[in-house]
Chains A and B, each alone.
Chain A
Amino acid sequence: MNAYVGTPTSRIDGRAKVTGAAKYAGEFAADGLLHGFVVEATIARGRIARLDTSEALKVKGVIDVLTHEHRPPLADKDEAWKDEVAPEKGSPFRPLYDDRIKFNGQPIALVVAEDWETARFAATRVRVEYEQEAFATDLESERGKAAEVDQPHKPRGDAAAALTHAAIRHEADYVLPSEHHNPMELYATTAVWDGNGGLTVYDKTQGVQNVQKFLCSVFGKKPDEIRVISPYVGGAFGSGLRPQHQVVLATLAALALKRSVRVVLTRQQMYGLGFRPLTIERVALGAKPDGTLDAVTHEAIAVTSRFEDFSRNDTGWAEQLYKSPNSRYSHKLVRLDVSTPSDMRAPGAATGVCALECAMDELAVALKLDPVELRLRCYSDRDQSEGLPYTSKQLRECYARGAEAFGWSRRSPAPRSMRDGKELVGWGMATGVWEALQMPVAARIVLTANGHAEVSCAASDIGTGTYTIVAQVAADALGLPIENISVRLADSSLPQAPVEGGSWMAASSAHAVLGAAEEIRRELARYAKAMPASPLAGVDVPDIILLDGAVAKAADRSRSVSIADAMRHGQVERIEKEKLNEFPEDKSHARNTHSAVFAEVKVDEELGVIRVTRVVSAVAAGRILNTKTGRSQIMGSVVWGIGMALHEETVTDHRFGRIMNANIAEYHIPVNADVRDIDVIFVDEPDDRINQLGIKGLGEIGIVGVPAAIANAVYHATGKRIRRFPITLDKLLE
């Protein structure tokens, strides 16, 4: 029964969040809590020649200053430092491990004091001398050193020859800048010392079990000695997939001092962790005069660190979207003296599809074709790389519904042909695509005879609404009102879950809950059937459902027994079931989510100021578990797309290898006044092949395509094609 799944259910954690009761990692209290403040390197490469902590130690209230020369033991093998999201190739960064400086902003000391202000003050008294070495942080000057990484997509046909002979050809570089996640919550950890060598670690993370395993391996601890908890996460967007510096530092200090320690990074220090890497995307399209494609090539050159090869699929997305007999994809890395990049919302697709969709717009202009029409002519019903059909693909419907809601048919095709007073008006569109992933997750349900159920799972809710969808699925599966469901998440001692990322957690956690609920249903059915003069006598267990607090015959709901009576008869006060759900491997179909994004911009011709006045995002992502929180997720992603298109860029001074705008005044994220009308349309996309509930996930798809739609709208408004993001007014006025 679906009383909740598919409905606009309000967040069950809403009250905690609007009253300030929700506690985040840096907010847990502990007796005798100490505060750590991080000292960072101010050079990009070299070694620490001398680290003098004596003055800092003299500050009243300072307990200790931890450095690579003064700390408890840390694991020395790379394998011990590899968390479940670490790149395959490389040697993960180890805070306070040795005297090597690998990037500017690297943590080199932790000052621990009785209070935070004292630690911060004393940190200014740590003296460091460096031996500097030559370094490089500029991708464009190092572009020649790019090295190819393994390719997920094999070439098809002969793309180079097809391009040469193509009637219409478009080829260009698109530059997507480095970006930082900037969740509102600072990266924070409170490590609570239990007095016996064990720790409870409250950490800002997308994966408590990932962090727990990582800490045990780095510090040589047994699994029961470290517990990681993260009930609320103040945004993450990929930044909390890998264990962050501060969780290592807080744990290190707690073990060194045998006391509870909190470490909160400053906003500036957060720029020393992961980021979306600057990527140069070279896209070439060859087409026939009718707009069908002969060739697609896409090459990405991205930044990684010297010590780890981070790469994501930037280039293969045309395989999903556009039919072409010839294709070639290549992903190259340039190793620089920076921290290792990380996943950031729709990693690979946000950037790669942006380039592809800008290129498609340029091709439409060259062909004098409407951009939607071009995409329909190239539409692929199969994933060409594997030659597979999709479990479902309602992208055509996305184009149709999005165009209709936007009023696309009223678009005048010529650039600079639409105006509103003194502003130029531009309408642009783009396609979005992401993967519909699913992972093994376990859930436990404890049903008590009073008709309440507690559902628990180690999965995180990073603002994505996991608490709420888990409650919705459980309420429907158990036939209980949602008020009777309580949900516990993000505790490493709870049933197994991977990091929350890649848009896989909705489908994965929902089916784990479904699995556990199914075992409860069977047990209740057994008790109910065995009751004397049971109204369910003779009814097969598969024909029995849970509904309105009762165990009932599906086809005749008057034949029912209350859950309380069934449990009383079974002589149980509680039923506890835990189920690990693993999705059967099915290589017969491709699984993707899709979107069509339409954007309107208004550009002040004299000042170059760009405003995004309307966005319509039509999304096909299977069944939407919660249309209220789901709509919010897409809307928020559109806001991210506005940031990518117009605002966000991490700027490095390559003379020092140092980020210049490491704050949220000069690193611009969209503010309220930057965002106007956003219309989210969920296209009906039944999918009974992908999984039982037909769920595909929503975390990433909403951003993909948005920056390209806006860039294409800016071109339509102004006649200027800006290929270097973000599109700031200086570039328009050049």
Chain B
Amino acid sequence: MADMTIPERIPINLVVNGERRALEVVPWTTLLDALRDRLELTGTKKGCDHGQCGACTVLIDGRRVNSCLTLAVMKDGAEITTIEGLAGDGALHPLQQAFIDHDAFQCGYCTPGQICSAAGLVAEGRARDADEIRELMSGNLCRCGAYPNIVAAIEQAMSRS
């Protein structure tokens, strides 16, 4: 019979939203679960745990990544930005404001992932028109079907940045 013990916990440091956080995790803990269950940053959402929906998108060293497909131990020392840390104190990031302005969500569950993904997309500088936004945002599912408003919100934020 296989070993019944849980693997040893490994100490890691994550710089989350500018704050250094030390924690100990077992190797199979995903970055998503570390954020949600250990650091109580529940703004990052779990929609599938398989990299299929994009709800868990965060920025790691500025790049958009599915945190459910990322083991926390792999990101020791990395800088992670979640929806909670996207804007300064009390302010809204231009994308957050644009999502409100364009009603780019209904239930709100995919929204943090959409916004983080959009922030990553803007930083990539790859999307030049609505068609490209649609294509490059297709890793973030929205079951409420807010897609046209999401595209409009990203266009607004891009035009003002």
Contact = CB atoms under 8 A, between A and B. Distances in A.
A186 B107 contact: no
Nearest to B133: A672
A342 interface: no
Given A185-B107, A673-B138, A234 B145 contact: no
20 contacts: A10-B101, A11-B103, A18-B100, A18-B112, A18-B115, A27-B42, A59-B6, A116-B33, A121-B28, A184-B45, A184-B141, A185-B45, A235-B143, A463-B106, A463-B144, A635-B145, A637-B145, A640-B145, A664-B48, A670-B147
A24 B47 CA distance: 12
A185 B109 contact: yes
Contacts of A465: 106
A628 B148 CA distance: 13
A677 B107 contact: no
Interface in B106-124: 106-112, 115
A218 B53 CA distance: 35
A674 B87 CA distance: 30
Contacts of A19: 43, 83-84, 87, 92, 96
A29 B37 CA distance: 9
B138 A59 contact: no
B149 A20 contact: no
A235 B4 contact: no
Nearest to A626: B103
A183 B108 contact: no
B156 interface: no
Interface string B78-111: 0000111001000010001101110101111111
Interface in A5-26: 10-11, 13-24, 26
B6 A118 contact: yes
Counting chain B residues whose Cβ lies within 8 A of the other chain, the interface size class is 35 or more
Interface string A673-696: 111111000000000000000000
A20 B149 CA distance: 19
A22 B108 contact: yes
B143 A23 contact: no
Counting chain A residues whose Cβ lies within 8 A of the other chain, the interface size class is 35 or more
A14 B100 CA distance: 6
B142 interface: yes
A635 B145 CA distance: 7
Contact of B103 (A184, A237, A628): A628
B137 A632 contact: no
B151 interface: yes
Interface in A95-132: 115-118, 121, 125
The 4 closest A-B pairs by CB, nearest first: A20-B43, A639-B145, A234-B109, A463-B107
Nearest to B108: A17
A212 to B, nearest CB: 22
Given A639-B145, A665-B52, A15 B92 contact: yes
A669 B143 contact: yes
Contacts of B141: 184, 664, 669, 671
B134 interface: yes
A10 B96 CA distance: 13
Contact of A24 (B99, B109, B145): B109
A233 interface: yes
Contacts of B55: 184
Given A11-B100, A27-B36, A235-B107, A635 B138 contact: no
A25 to B, nearest CB: 11
A18 B148 contact: no
Nearest to B116: A20
Contact of A635 (B43, B49, B82, B148): B148
A43 B137 CA distance: 38
A57 to B, nearest CB: 10
A311 interface: no
Nearest to A630: B103
B148 A60 contact: no
Contacts of B36: 27
Chain A CB count within 10 A is highest, among B40, B133, B141, for B141
A17 B105 contact: yes
A267 B47 contact: yes
Contacts of B106: 235, 463-465, 629, 632-633, 636
A628 B100 CA distance: 11
Contacts of A677: 148
B43 A632 contact: no
A267 B83 contact: no
Interface string A224-240: 00000000111111000
Contacts of B52: 267, 663-665
Contact of A116 (B37, B112, B140, B150): B37
A58 interface: yes
A18 B111 contact: yes
A26 B44 CA distance: 12
A395 interface: no
A678 B134 CA distance: 14
Contact of A665 (B42, B43, B50, B112): B50
Contact of B148 (A61, A236, A637, A675): A675
A209 interface: no
Nearest to A59: B4
B161 interface: no
B6 A60 contact: yes
A574 to B, nearest CB: 29
A337 B8 CA distance: 43
A18 B134 contact: no
A234 B103 contact: no
A635 B150 CA distance: 12
Contacts of B13: none
B109 A267 contact: no
Contact of A55 (B1, B37, B48, B84): B1
Contact of B146 (A29, A118, A632, A674): A632
Contacts of A640: 145
Contacts of B50: 267, 663, 665
A632 B142 contact: no
B103 A463 contact: no
Nearest to A675: B147
Given A632-B103, A663-B52, A186 B46 contact: yes
B57 to A, nearest CB: 12
B129 interface: no
B103 A10 contact: yes
Nearest to A183: B143
B82 to A, nearest CB: 7
Contacts of A637: 145
